[in-house]
Amino acid sequence: DIQMTQSPASLSASLEEIVTITCQASQDIGNWLAWYQQKPGKSPQLLIYDATSLADGVPSRFSGSRSGTQYSLKISRLQVADIGSYYCQQAHSNPYTFGAGTKLELK
């Protein structure tokens, strides 16, 4: 199975700050990587697919990047609406696997 190592597990940041979350895949998954945001008490929502493509309706302050088997989600200017948990997911092959998640809080 492909392992997704996500870091950090938790993150405290200030409004307007740049935030970066990373996921390391245990093997080559190409661009088969998605990012999700989950707000407290809500279902997860797709943010990024194909490693770098923004899902419909997602603000442009979110971006995804890839360097080899390391993937990053960047929030360029943190807003209150961005508070929640973030998960990466490899979509390369079954069994699909998620990172352990990053809980993002306001400082």
Rounded to the nearest 10°, the torsion over CA 99, 84, 51, 32 is 40
Query: Toward other proteins, which CB reaches closer, 34 or 78?
Result: 34
Query: Toward other proteins, which CB reaches closer, 17 or 72?
Result: 72
- Residue 82 phi, psi (nearest 5): -90, -5
Least distance from C-beta 29 to other proteins, angstroms? 11
Look at residues 1, 83, 7 and name the one whose alpha carbon lies nearest to residue 38: 83
Query: Toward other proteins, which CB reaches closer, 19 or 49?
Result: 49
Q: Which residues bind other proteins (CB under 8 A)?
A: 1, 32, 34, 36, 38, 43-46, 49-50, 53, 55, 85, 87, 89, 91-92, 94-101
Supply 76's token pair: 């360029």
Q: Burial of 72 by CB count in 10 Å (0-12 exposed, 13-18 middle, 19+ buried)?
A: middle
Least distance from C-beta 31 to other proteins, angstroms? 8
Rounded CA gap, 2 and 51, in Å? 16
Least distance from C-beta 16 to other proteins, angstroms? 28
Query: Toward other proteins, which CB reaches closer, 8 or 77?
Result: 8
Least distance from C-beta 55 to other proteins, angstroms? 7
